[in-house]
């Protein structure tokens, strides 16, 4: 018996039009004005520096690029500064502090937790779901929640593994009727289409739904708190949590998760300062009010051709903007703990993920001027776009700088520096250049310093990061790594932006990973061009002069070392070494929550057992129970297709029964696995064939 | 018994044992009983027991038993589907853990077992509550004009020429 009613209670009335409050406007103005101020001062200093050796068109281009890049860096810096200050003086304008919610009961609420997956590791997904399920039930509020695995998997082996993992988990938990599994045969709309299919079919059963990714984990208390927050804020349409990266073992993943957890709270406090109820949605680890989402967030296709037209790829930003457009609030509950996700294990996997995100974010350009969108929604969309466009701009800045230096060298112009147009500075040209450089460094690194300072006011956090000394050493290591990684990222992103604009598909060479990370060969295939560019640029800078060579060294070093950087940081052995040395420790490592500890223990047990598992399709043919389970789950959907005795089906069945993997094609597997009648027949024929002596 | 018959019989016993392993039937008494039943039925109908004959007989016996226990309407049109339905019921009632002794036993069976087998149902999804969702058109504002431009013939070629002209201007400005 479970408490979810068959129909969702009457939805709350849509909120009246929300005019931007004076508080929100003031906050936005104050925040971005600081970034403009820094950019203005920096831009003036830089313009003055360029002025000293005579103006030219190239210098105009350089100044524009510098100002754009400095503005973006200043916004990042301001997140750190505002976040640091707010954590000291407190901010009442956050959703968790605006009204008491902890005492609110969940009676009458019903919430679905949905895992949208596509060809993921089924065991990992189910263990994540199990950990949330158990944690929710430990709170005593389990009756108000139901769980869904919404599969979009296309590979038969994946979906058979999903069925098996779902069944075993659900039976162990005694949760039939509480944890559901559904696989789509039509994959229209990808992830957003998957969620829409869920909403069209079952959305009316639930007042709220929580979207989770395959690698998402949330604690039960956090899940319950999200529902309580929605209940006490009836105008909130969506509340996004801040998922922190966990479970990283490679050095790269540990760098990322340290950065996420160490800088994250400070940055997130700054982000909430200006976004307030005009927040953003990151696609997972967020709770959504079902009714307005169903009413306002079904995404239309964009006019025109790819890459900008067609289906909206990065749906999350747009859904948040549509909710805002319909006067629903979107909040960022950045101070709710217990929300986690996992990051990519290496540089190449990170770039592969960025490739997908890049196309989706660039597509948002189409929506920037949409009528009715909230101003803050446009800021979020712009930031997403600039996050990728900044890379080609940085590259262009470097190219124009190099060109100007070469032009200066080639023409044999003298270095006579005229007085700056800001004469009160009284700086030599060299000191002037140093001042511009230092300003840039302060803008880039101040948030990191403030994150270290933040530890002095938080003893618990200080202890969890291994003390101030270790945390500072971690920041230093992470800074060195990110300095080397940034130029590689710049070239990757530039390639992604250009290929997206040109509508060219990027074909990745199949990732070659050993048990311990990226192989040298695999890394070289991805980074050889980066290495050559780095060597060529360093040689060019050296030819121009020793001083210039040193200016370009940080960028060129990262490019030249891209292959070893990619290989070494993908290794778990290096990650383990860093951990043994007490570097890059995170809260979840020094004080692991029992939920994550149990999850990791189970995953280790599965890793040990997984070696004995055969190919999933053959397993589903051979094993009487798995076969019966699969036949039942494929069910009625399987009546169409070629007849069971057609040559096409006979050939496919013979190939599967021969257990010759080389002979089997993905089409054969899909044909058989998607038909209940054929799978039931195959099981019978398999066992009869096993008893027949070979001819 | 000839050496060949003995080998064939061993093959038949092994084939039955393999399927019982796959069903996780580990109780020696049950295994012995089922094997004997199969060999006896094969001997009655075909004479010498061979592995293929034993498996066919086992398949038939299991399906007949499923039909009786589950109470599926006779005649069974698709033996493979009935078999799958029966095996799913065994999985859901946890035959390996609770009911091994009942496997292929003639009735009457314990009422709990019969009820569990007949009422076993795989609850993969809740009842549908269908709703309609329709995307609302988005007014893209000035961008809509650009999308209309993209429908012009040869717009890509024109864009490339425009980009080339811009490049010439930039090169000229940078070098003069």
Q: What is the pLDDT of residues A445-478, one digit of tens each?
A: 999 999 999 999 999 999 999 999 999 999 999 9
Q: Which of A361, A381, A370, A355 is nearest to A303 (CA)?
A: A370
pLDDT at A12: 53
Select from A371, A625, A678, A683 the residue whose CB has the most chain B CBs within 10 Å, as the one to mutate to test that interface. Answer: A625
Q: How far off is chain B from A489, nearest CA to CA, in Å? A: 26
pLDDT, average across residues A46-50: 91
Which of B23, B79, B143 minimises the CB distance to A624? B23
pLDDT at B120: 82
CA-derived radius of gyration, chain B: 35
Which residues have CB under 8 Å from B71's CB, separation 6+? B118
Q: Which residues of B touch A61 (CB under 8 A)?
A: 170, 174
> Collapsing DSSP states into helix, strand and coil, what is residue A240?
strand
Q: Which residues of A touch B62 (CB under 8 A)?
A: none
DSSP 8-class letter at A585: -
Q: Which two tokens stand for residue A313?
A: 């790829």
Size of interface A-B (CB pairs under 8 A): 171
Q: Which two tokens stand for residue A236?
A: 């909130």
ipTM value, please give it. Answer: 0.84
Give A100 or A690, the one with higher predicted confidence.
A100
pLDDT above 80 (res A21): no
CA-derived radius of gyration, chain A: 28
The torsion angles phi and psi of A617, rounded to 5 degrees, stand at -65, -45
Judge whether A404 lies within some domain: no
Rounded CA gap, B142 and B145, in Å? 6
pLDDT at A15: 60
Q: How far off is chain B from A684, nearest CA to CA, in Å? A: 7
Of A319, A334, A356, the one marking the end of a domain is A356
Residues in chain A: 695
pLDDT above 60 (res A19): no
pLDDT at A295: 94
Q: What's the CATH code of the domain at A175?
A: 3.90.550.10
Contact A200 B78 (CB under 8 A): no
Which region among A179-188, A537-546, B144-153 has the lowest average model confidence (pLDDT)?
B144-153
pLDDT at A659: 64
pLDDT at A692: 66
What residue has token string 């961008």?
B143
Burial A91-111 (b: 16+ CB within 10 A, else e): beebbeeeeebeebebeebbb
Q: How far off is chain B from A513, nearest CA to CA, in Å? A: 35
pLDDT, average across residues A86-104: 94
Judge whether A153 lies within some domain: yes
pLDDT above 70 (res A347): yes
DSSP calls for A256-282: HHHHHHHHHHHHHHHHHHHHTTB----
pLDDT at A3: 47
**Helices (H), ranges, A276-314:** 290-296
pLDDT at A1: 40
Q: What is the mean pLDDT of chain A?
A: 90
pLDDT at A502: 84
Of A323, A341, A356, the one marking the end of a domain is A356
Judge whether A163 lies within some domain: yes
pLDDT at A612: 44
pTM: 0.91
Q: List strands edge to edge, sheet with A286-289.
A: A179-183, A145-151, A111-117, A208-212, A286-289, A236-241, A329-333
pLDDT at A430: 86
Q: How far off is chain A from B99, nearest CA to CA, in Å? A: 15
pLDDT at B136: 82
Give residue A97's Cα distance to chain centre: 27
Rounded CA gap, A36 and A67, in Å? 10
pLDDT, average across residues A288-307: 90
- As for how many domains chain A has, the answer is 2
Rounded CA gap, A453 and A266, in Å? 11
Q: How far off is chain A from B55, nearest CA to CA, in Å? A: 6
Domain that holds residue A192: 111-295+306-356
Percentage of the residues of chain A whose pLDDT score is greater than 70:
92
pLDDT above 70 (res A565): yes
Contact A57 B173 (CB under 8 A): yes
CA quadruple A600, A586, A279, A299: dihedral, nearest 10: -30
pLDDT, average across residues A620-627: 93
Q: Which residues of A touch B93 (CB under 8 A)?
A: none
Q: Which two tokens stand for residue A360?
A: 């989706």
pLDDT above 80 (res A396): yes
DSSP 8-class letter at B127: P
Q: Which two tokens stand for residue A551?
A: 């200016």
Question: Looking at chain B, which residue has its C-alpha nearest residue A634?
Answer: B124
> CB–CB of A293/A237 below 8 Å?
yes
Q: Which residues of A touch B48 (CB under 8 A)?
A: none
Question: Looking at chain A, which residue has its C-alpha nearest residue B148?
Answer: A304
pLDDT at A208: 98
pLDDT above 60 (res A272): yes
Give the pLDDT band of residue B78 (cuts 50, 70, 90): confident
Q: What angle do CA A76, A82, A85 make, to 5 degrees?
A: 140
Judge whether A106 lies within some domain: no
Contact B124 A180 (CB under 8 A): yes
pLDDT at B19: 93
Q: Which of A626, A634, A674 is nearest to A652 (CA)?
A: A674
Q: Which two tokens stand for residue B30?
A: 């049950």
pLDDT, average across residues A141-151: 97
Q: How far off is chain B from A614, nearest CA to CA, in Å? A: 14
Q: Which residues of A touch B141 (CB under 8 A)?
A: 369-371
pLDDT, average across residues A583-592: 92
pLDDT at A2: 44
pLDDT, average across residues B25-34: 94
What residue has token string 């949409």?
A370
Q: Give, in order, the Cα–Cα distances in Å from A346 to each of A250, A282, A350.
A: 7, 22, 6
pLDDT above 80 (res A554): yes
What residue has token string 């055969």?
A614
pLDDT, average across residues A660-687: 82
pLDDT at B159: 82
Q: Which two tokens stand for residue A206?
A: 């639930």
Contact B84 A683 (CB under 8 A): yes
> CB–CB of A71/A443 below 8 Å?
no
Which region among A504-513, A580-589, A680-689 has the lowest average model confidence (pLDDT)?
A504-513
Q: What is the pLDDT of residues A201-239, one digit of tens each?
A: 999 999 999 999 999 999 999 999 999 999 999 999 999
Judge whether A226 lies within some domain: yes
Give the pLDDT band of residue A656 (cuts 50, 70, 90): confident
């Amino acid at each position: 018996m479970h408490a979810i009613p068959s129909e969702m209670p009457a939805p709350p009335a849509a909120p009246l039009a929300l005019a931007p409050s004076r508080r929100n406007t003031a906050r936005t103005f104050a925040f971005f004005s600081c970034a403009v101020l820094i950019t203005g001062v920096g831009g003036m200093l830089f313009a003055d520096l360029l002025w000293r050796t005579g103006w030219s068109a190239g210098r105009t281009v350089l100044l524009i690029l510098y100002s754009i890049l400095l503005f973006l860096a200043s916004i990042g810096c301001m997140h750190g500064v505002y976040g640091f200050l707010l954590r000291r003086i407190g901010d009442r304008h956050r959703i968790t502090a605006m009204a008491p919610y902890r005492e609110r009961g969940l009676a009458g609420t019903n919430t679905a937790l949905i895992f949208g997956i596509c060809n993921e590791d089924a065991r990992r997904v189910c263990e994540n779901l199990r950990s949330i399920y158990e944690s929710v039930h430990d709170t005593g509020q389990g009756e108000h929640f139901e769980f869904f695995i919404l599969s979009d998997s296309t590979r038969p082996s994946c979906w058979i593994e999903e069925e098996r993992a779902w069944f075993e988990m659900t039976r162990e938990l005694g949760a039939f009727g509480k944890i559901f599994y559904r696989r789509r045969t039509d994959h229209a709309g990808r992830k957003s289409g998957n969620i829409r299919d869920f909403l069209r079919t079952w959305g009316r059963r639930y007042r709220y739904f929580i979207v989770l990714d395959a690698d998402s984990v949330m604690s039960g208390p956090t899940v319950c708190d999200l529902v309580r927050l929605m209940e006490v804020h009836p105008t909130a349409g969506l509340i996004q949590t801040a998922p922190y990266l966990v479970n990283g073992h490679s050095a790269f993943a540990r760098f990322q998760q340290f950065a996420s957890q160490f800088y994250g709270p400070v940055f997130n406090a700054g982000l909430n300062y200006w976004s307030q109820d005009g927040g953003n949605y990151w696609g997972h680890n967020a709770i959504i009010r079902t009714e307005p989402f169903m009413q306002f967030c079904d995404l239309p296709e964009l006019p025109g051709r790819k890459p900008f037209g067609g289906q909206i790829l990065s749906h999350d930003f747009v859904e948040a903007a549509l909710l805002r457009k319909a006067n629903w609030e979107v909040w960022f509950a950045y101070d709710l703990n217990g929300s986690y996700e996992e990051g990519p294990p290496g540089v190449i996997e990170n770039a592969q993920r960025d490739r997908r995100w890049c196309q989706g974010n660039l597509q948002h350009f189409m929506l920037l001027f949409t009528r009715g969108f909230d101003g803050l929604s446009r800021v979020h969309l712009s930031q997403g776009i600039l996050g990728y466009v900044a890379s080609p701009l940085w590259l262009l800045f470097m190219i124009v700088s190099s060109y100007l230096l070469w032009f200066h060298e080639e023409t044999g112009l003298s270095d006579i520096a005229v007085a700056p147009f800001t004469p009160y500075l009284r700086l030599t040209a060299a000191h002037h250049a140093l001042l511009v450089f230092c300003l840039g460094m302060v803008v880039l690194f101040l948030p990191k310093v403030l994150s270290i300072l933040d530890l002095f006011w938080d003893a618990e956090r200080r202890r969890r990061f291994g003390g101030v000394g270790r945390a500072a050493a971690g920041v230093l290591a992470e800074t060195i790594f990110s300095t080397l990684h940034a130029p590689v990222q710049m070239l990757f992103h530039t390639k992604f932006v250009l290929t997206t604009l040109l509508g060219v598909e990027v074909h990745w060479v199949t990732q070659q990973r050993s048990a311990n990370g990226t192989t040298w060969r695999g890394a070289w295939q991805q980074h050889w061009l980066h290495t050559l560019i780095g060597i060529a640029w360093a040689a060019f800078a050296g030819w121009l002069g020793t001083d210039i060579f040193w200016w370009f060294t940080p960028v060129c070093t990262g490019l030249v070392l891209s292959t070893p950087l990619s290989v070494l940081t993908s290794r778990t052995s290096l990650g383990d070494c860093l951990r043994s040395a007490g570097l890059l420790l995170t809260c979840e490592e020094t004080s692991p929550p029992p939920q994550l500890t149990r999850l990791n223990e189970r995953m280790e047990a599965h890793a040990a057992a997984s070696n004995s598992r055969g190919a999933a399709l053959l397993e589903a043919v051979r094993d009487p129970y798995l076969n019966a389970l699969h036949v039942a789950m494929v069910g009625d959907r399987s009546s169409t297709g070629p007849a069971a005795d057609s040559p096409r089906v006979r050939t496919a069945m013979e190939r599967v029964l021969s257990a010759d993997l080389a002979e089997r094609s993905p089409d054969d597997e899909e044909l058989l696995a998607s038909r209940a009648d054929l799978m039931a027949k195959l099981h019978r024929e398999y066992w009869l064939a096993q008893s027949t002596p070979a001819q | 018994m000839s050496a060949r018959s003995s080998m064939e019989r061993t093959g038949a016993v092994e084939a039955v044992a393999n399927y019982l392993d796959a069903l996780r039937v580990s109780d020696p008494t049950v295994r012995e009983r089922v094997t004997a039943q199969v060999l006896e039925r094969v001997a009655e109908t075909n004479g010498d027991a061979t592995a293929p004959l034993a498996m066919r007989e086992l398949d038939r016996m299991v399906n007949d038993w499923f039909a009786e226990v589950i109470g599926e309407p006779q005649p069974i049109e698709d033996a493979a589907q009935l078999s799958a339905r029966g095996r799913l019921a065994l999985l859901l009632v946890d035959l390996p853990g609770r009911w091994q002794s009942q496997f292929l036993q003639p009735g009457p069976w314990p009422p709990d077992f019969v009820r569990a087998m007949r009422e076993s149902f795989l609850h993969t999804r809740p009842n549908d509550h269908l709703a309609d969702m329709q995307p609302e058109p988005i007014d893209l504002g000035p961008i809509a004009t650009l999308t209309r431009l993209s429908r012009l013939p040869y717009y890509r070629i024109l864009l490339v020429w425009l980009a080339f002209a811009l490049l010439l201007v930039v090169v000229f400005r940078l070098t003069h």
